[in-house]
Chains A and B, each alone.
Chain A
Amino acid sequence: MSARLPMNMDATAPRLTADEKVSGIQRVGRAYRARSLAAKIALVPTILVMVFCFYGSVTWTVYISMTRSFLLPVYKFAGTAQYDRLFATPRWQVAYSNMFLFGALDIIGTLGLGVLLAVLLDRAVRCEGIFRTIMLYPLSISFIVTGLTWQWLLSPTIGVQQLGRDLGWTDFVFDWITQPDRAIYTLVFAGIWHQSGLIMAIMLAGLRGVDREIWRAARIEGIPTWRTYVSIILPMLRPLIVTCVVLIAIAVVKSYDLVVAMTNGGPGFSSDLPGKFVVDFVFERANIGQASAAATVMLASVLAIVSPYLYFELARKNR
């Protein structure tokens, strides 16, 4: 269908003369060059989007974060003034440290459950399809629906606490979602529920790729199954585990919808996260200086996770 589009470059490619057709090599060479122009032109939109929408915008945001911009951008360089203010802002301090707290627990929980599920499914054979389907369906559901669902489950008036009381434990209390010092932990439940299927899928593929000979050798040595996993198989899959950690960590830095739907950053701003801080400061507080500084910190966090990972991945593949 693309051949009929007006941007078809072949129509305008120079026709070959009889002389040029003599040598097959020459013909391919000439045709190749003419047509790779079409390939270059096909890449122009992507490159424009990349340069202007991504790298240009990133540069803009990073630059604004080093000016005194407030409501509107000002372009006079002001060093780290925005960052000094940002890190002196209590709400940012909470959001920033929440990122590490939520991140650590979410990585441990999601990775732990995901790896456990992969190992269990690697052992059990029957009904694997059904188990997989149940473990993976949360991934297809949006963070908004996930967040609302967990908000209802954990709400003291209708959720788990009320269930406990209905069952006869009349002074049962489970109200973390309404406690300023506990709300951030409730996000971890939803995060684990949503993401551990993904880790299971990645790890299970890895486990299935392990050489059967290793299992046979371990059996001959009389090493128990769990020990074989812990000491031999999982260490072999370390690169895959690192990939999983990187994936979850990036998702944590970027998380926004989940906290909006589940706690909306509350009570107060006790469960705020950098992603929500930035959006609120752009659109509600209209303080683009602070928003840009916070966004730059988010970018730096992602780069701090991704850069070493990509570096070692590429080095490993080139070896």
Chain B
Amino acid sequence: MKASRIEIFKEALKTGVVTKKYPFEPIEVPEGFRGKPSIDTEKCIGCGACVSVCPPNALSIEVDAKRGVKRIMLFLGRCIFCGRCQEVCPTEAIKLSREFELSSLNSKDLYQVVELKMAKCKICGRYYATVRQILFTARNVPKDQRPLLLLCDECRSKVSAKYISYARW
């Protein structure tokens, strides 16, 4: 069947204008849209779970031993908005918002940097974990074992090995 031009014109009039006036009017984003991830600086404990799970390594973590600071960097330019960091975060600090207008003229604007202070080991004086991470784990540890959290991994294993050997003999 071949529609005449008048019929097509009638159909077009019935449909009306479908074009969105986007750059001049805001649009609504559907629910569940995975947009810009951002780290809540109050909640983040710097455990690095999101870093280990991020497929494109958009999240990176490094220890600044001179300043005693752990740096978590989120580079949106490489993020693929999969939401795995949100799933794995123990404190729900990193979340995907529904924001999608992320374009920037400089790639440095796509970074989010969070620096958290670290604690020193009481024996060897090495920076080993962020203060927030120690306090977060301390709540799930029985009170008599909590002082062991003030030591770094190596010193902790040495001290606990000593305790075990005392208990045996």
A and B physically associate: no
Instruction: Enumerate chain A interface residues (CB-CB to B < 8 A).
Output: none
Instruction: Enumerate chain B interface residues (CB-CB to A < 8 A).
Output: none
